[in-house]
């Protein structure tokens, strides 16, 4: 069973480096922050189009965890970057996270209502 753990550690090594603040700020902000957010939004839109409530629920939960992860990762990467870009990245990320929280909450409420209606 340890080979599975080793494989997962190897597979997610870049994300672990980003979490620890060892990745450069542009990579974390643009790649993981902006890029991955767009991928998640597209996947959610596709799930909505297909009427896949189960996938929508999974993506809401994943997005909530991802939001925590990206706020921490960008915060840690920002400490090691130029002060102007670091401060700007932190403020933009906090603002984005607040917005994401409200959006995820409203999507969850809508999903619960759709479950209730059958």
> What average pLDDT does the segment 77-100 reach?
94
Task: Report how far apart, in Å, the C-alpha atoms of 67 and of each of 34, 50, 51, 59 are.
Answer: 11, 25, 24, 12
Full residue range of the structural domain in which residue 13 is found: 2-117
Residue pLDDT, tens place only, 6-36? 888 889 999 999 999 999 999 999 999 999 9
Number of domains in the chain: 1
- Residue 4's pLDDT is what? 87
- Say yes or no to pLDDT of 1 above 60: no
pTM above 0.95, yes or no: no
Cβ-count burial 47-72 (b if 16+ within 10 Å, e if not): bbeeeeeeebbebbeebeebbeebbe
Phi and psi at 94, nearest 5°, equal -65, -45
């Amino acid at each position: 069973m340890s080979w599975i753990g080793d494989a997962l550690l190897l597979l997610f090594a870049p994300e672990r480096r980003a979490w620890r603040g060892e990745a450069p700020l542009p990579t974390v902000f643009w790649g993981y922050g902006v890029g991955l957010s767009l991928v998640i939004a597209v996947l959610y839109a596709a799930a909505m189009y297909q009427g896949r409530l189960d996938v929508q629920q999974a993506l809401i939960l994943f997005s909530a965890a991802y939001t925590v992860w990206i706020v921490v990762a960008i915060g840690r990467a920002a400490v090691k970057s130029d002060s102007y870009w670091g401060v700007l990245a932190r403020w933009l990320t906090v603002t984005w996270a607040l917005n994401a929280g409200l959006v995820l909450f409203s999507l969850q409420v809508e999903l619960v209502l759709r479950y209730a209606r059958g």
